[in-house]
Amino acid sequence: MLFNSLIFIVFLTIVLALHHLPIPWKVKKLNLCAASYIFYAAWNPPFVVLLWISTLVDWLAGQRIAAARSRGGRRAFLALSLAVNLGLLGYFKYGGFILENFIAVLELAGIHFRPAAPGIVLPVGISFYTFQSLSYSFDIYRGKLKPWPSFLDFALFVTFFPQLVAGPIVRAVQFLPQCANERRATAEQFGWGLTMIFLGLFEKVILADTLAGPVADTVFGAPAQAGFVDAWI
């Protein structure tokens, strides 16, 4: 679901309409969390499981880090959070690269090893939500944040769709306190938000895709023929 697609505009309109209904704050947060999962599932539904894993592991790790009585115990649960999150990130982002280099090393040693290609597909936004989720464990470990009482708030923190697949990465100490009480945008804030959305769409659709896109395609299609000015443009 691309930000500049018609389906996203429909999706965003529905989400905003539901969010402004006279319903409890907890239900609104549940709607936002469900919408974020739907948004991510539109790319590749099975990869939602990775979001669940990161969310559950870091939520539990945060609880155990805070409850641990020794520094070694705190470090152990922080290490668990790191191992799971970075392990998933490393597999999906660098698994194919590592396998290729491993095969090359074996070839140099005279060992012929040709496994089937793993066909690893990189999940959209995995770097962003991995490090964002990890920030919760680190904030608790460093004493900047106590374990958050609401799992729903934490799940929303990890999956919040406006910055899920393209950032920016937001720390838990910045995001979670905003979930405690209902926040209503003023007419001025709402108008400013729409202005930013339309400005971003203009830059993406008109400037980047329509005007700059053909130039970039030409230069990257024949890099040896590009001059200094062409390369900078």
Q: Which of 48, 22, 20 is nearest to 32 (CA)?
A: 20
Instruction: Check whether residue 157 and residue 202 sit in a common domain.
Output: no
Residue numbers of the domain that contains 195:
190-233
65-79 pLDDT, tens per residue? 999 989 999 999 999
Does residue 76 lie within any of the structural domains?
A: yes
Instruction: Check whether residue 177 and residue 196 sit in a common domain.
Output: no
What integer pLDDT is reported at residue 117 of this predicted model?
63
194-208 pLDDT, tens per residue? 899 889 888 888 888
Instruction: Check whether residue 133 and residue 157 sit in a common domain.
Output: yes
Q: Which of 32, 12, 14, 20 is nearest to 153 (CA)?
A: 32
Q: What is the mean pLDDT of residues 8-32?
A: 92
Q: Total domain count for the chain?
A: 2
Tokens 């799940």 -> residue: 155
Does the pLDDT value for residue 121 go beyond 70? yes
Does residue 8 lie within any of the structural domains?
A: no
Instruction: Check whether residue 72 and residue 164 sit in a common domain.
Output: yes
Of the residues 163, 184, 205, the one at which a domain ends:
184
Instruction: Check whether residue 51 and residue 166 sit in a common domain.
Output: yes
Does residue 22 lie within any of the structural domains?
A: no
Does the pLDDT value for residue 138 go beyond 90? yes
Q: Dmax of the chain from CA atoms?
A: 70
pLDDT category at 115 given cuts 50, 70, 90 is low
Does residue 56 lie within any of the structural domains?
A: yes
179-188 pLDDT, tens per residue? 988 878 788 8
Does residue 156 lie within any of the structural domains?
A: yes
Does residue 67 lie within any of the structural domains?
A: yes
Which two structure tokens, joined as six digits, stand for 27? 């239900």
By mean pLDDT, which of 61-75, 122-136, 163-177, 207-221 is the weakest? 207-221
The residues, ordered by sequence, that sit 6+ positions from 181 with a Cβ below 8 Å of its Cβ are 25
pTM of the model: 0.82
Instruction: Check whether residue 74 and residue 128 sit in a common domain.
Output: yes
Instruction: Check whether residue 54 and residue 165 sit in a common domain.
Output: yes
